Amino acid sequence: MRLKFVAPLMPTLVNQPPEGDGWIHEVKFDGYRSQLIIDEVGTRIYTRNGHDWTAKYRDLVQEARGLGAESAIVDGEIIVLNEAGLSDFGELRKAITRRQHDLYFVAFDLLHLNGHDLRDMALEERREILASMIEPGGRIQFSEPLPGEAKAIFHLVDQAGLEGMVSKRRESRYRSGPSTNWLKAKCYTVEEYELLGVEREAGKPAFALMADRATGRYVGSAFINSSRAIRERLWKRVQEHAAPAPKGMKRPATQWVKPGIIGRVKHLRGEEDLRHASLQDFREEDGANPTSGE
C-alpha cells in the first residue's frame, strides 16, 4: 500500500515557553521541515508543502533503511551543522547540492508504523516508539527532549546560539495544520543590514526598510523604537542622503536613501527574512561610530 503525504502540524509562535510538567521541550532546528515515508513502493522524502524531494536526499533515503520499518511516516527536520555544531540554514542549501554526506534528518514524531495510524496516540507514546527505532550515531537522529524547567532551557538555548525551542503537550494527538498543542519560542539576534529607506506615515509607527548587505536583496522592515536622539539623527541622515526608489519597489510613504547607512537590527533568529524586527542603532558605512556613541 502506498502511503500518502500528511500535512504537518504547525506550531504556534509564542514569546515564552509554557511552564509545567505537561510539556516536552525540544531544540528548534534551523532547517527544512520534512516528512520521511517508507512503504512497499520505496522510501520518499517530502517538503513541508508536500513536494517530493527524494532525488535531492539520496544519502538520507539510503540511511532510512536502517529504521527497520515495513512502512512508516516520520516527521522531522533536515539540517546541516556548521563548525560550531549548530544547525545552519545558509549551509543547508549548499549541502543539498554539493555535500549530501553532511545532511542529517532529525526525527521528532511518528505518524504511521507498519500499517497502523498512530496519530491518535499520545505524543509521548509516539516518540517512545520512534526513539526505539533509531540507532545513535547515524544520519537519522532522534530529537531528544531537553530536561529541566522551561525558562532555564530557553535561557541555555539562547546562550548556545540556537534558533529557539519547541514545546509539545505530552498527551496531544497529531492533527495537521496550525496548533496550540505545539508552541515555538524563538530567540533573538542582532545583525547589520543596509538601510534602503524609512517608511513614515502620520499616526503610524515608523519602519526602516532593510536589505542584505551582501546581495542587496530586500529582507523586510524593522520597527524604529530607538531613543529619540537616534531617531532624530536618523531622520536628518535620511534627508541628507535622499535617493530615488530602488527598481521594482513602490512604497509611497517611504523616503529612500543612498547606499551607505548600516542599521543594527534585532530580529528573530533563524528566519530568512526579518520577523519581529526592530532597529537598534545605525552607522555610516565608512566605519563611523554608531550614533549612540557620538
For residue 229, how many other CB atoms are within 10 A of its CB? 11
Question: H/E/C letters for each residue in the chain?
Answer: CCCCCCCCEEEEEECCCCCCCCEEEEEECCCEEEEEEEECCEEEEEECCCCECHHHHHHHHHHHHHHCCCCEEEEEEEEEECCCCCECHHHHHHHHHHCHHHEEEEEEEEEEECCEECCCCCHHHHHHHHHHHCCCCCCEEECCCCCCCHHHHHHHHHHCCCCEEEEEECCCCCCCEEEEEEEEEECEEEEEEEEEEEECCCCCCCEEEEECCCCCCEEEEEEECCCHHHHHHHHHHHHHCECCCCCCCCCCCEEEECCCEEEEEEEECCCCCCCCCEEEEEEECCCCCCHHHC
Residues 250-271: tens digit of each pLDDT = 787 888 999 989 999 988 887 7
Tell me the average pLDDT across 108-129.
Answer: 98
pLDDT for 286: 64
pLDDT for 39: 95
Closest alpha carbon to 233 in 193, 195, 290: 290
**Type of residue found at 157:** V
Judge contact between 73 and 150, C-beta under 8 A.
Answer: no
Q: Residue holding cell 526598510?
A: 209
Greatest Cα-to-Cα distance within the chain, rounded to the nearest angstrom: 69
Decide which of 164 and 293 is more confident: 164
**Type of residue found at 251:** R
pLDDT for 293: 41
Instruction: Give me the phi and psi of 105, to 5 degrees please.
Output: -110, 110
pLDDT for 165: 94
pLDDT for 289: 43
Would you kindly state where each structural domain of the chain is located, as residue ranges? Answer: 9-186, 188-293
Checking if the pLDDT of 290 tops 90, the result is no
Q: Which fold has domain 188-293?
A: OB fold (Dihydrolipoamide Acetyltransferase, E2P) (2.40.50)
Euclidean distance between CA atoms 165 and 136, whole angstroms: 22
| Confidence label for 294 from pLDDT (cuts 50, 70 and 90) | very low
Judge contact between 107 and 130, C-beta under 8 A.
Answer: yes
Q: Which of 167-176, 220-229, 237-246 has the highest mean pLDDT?
A: 167-176
Tell me the average pLDDT across 172-199.
Answer: 94
The dihedral over CA atoms of 133, 136, 142, 145, expressed in degrees to the nearest 10, equals 120
Instruction: Give me the phi and psi of 204, to 5 degrees please.
Output: -125, 155
Residues 44-73: tens digit of each pLDDT = 999 999 999 999 999 999 999 889 899 999
Predicted model pTM: 0.76
CATH number given to 9-186: 3.30.470.30
For residue 61, how many other CB atoms are within 10 A of its CB? 18
pLDDT for 101: 77
* Percent share of the chain, pLDDT over 70: 97
Checking if the pLDDT of 203 tops 90, the result is no
Residues 4-22: tens digit of each pLDDT = 999 999 999 998 999 999 9
**Distances in Å between the alpha carbon of 127 and those of 17, 56, 119, 141?**
20, 27, 11, 12
Tell me the average pLDDT across 87-108.
Answer: 82
Average pLDDT, the chain: 89
Decide which of 92 and 78 is more confident: 78
Residues 222-238: tens digit of each pLDDT = 999 777 888 888 888 88
Tell me the average pLDDT across 103-110.
Answer: 96
* Percent share of the chain, pLDDT over 90: 56
Tell me the average pLDDT across 93-109.
Answer: 86
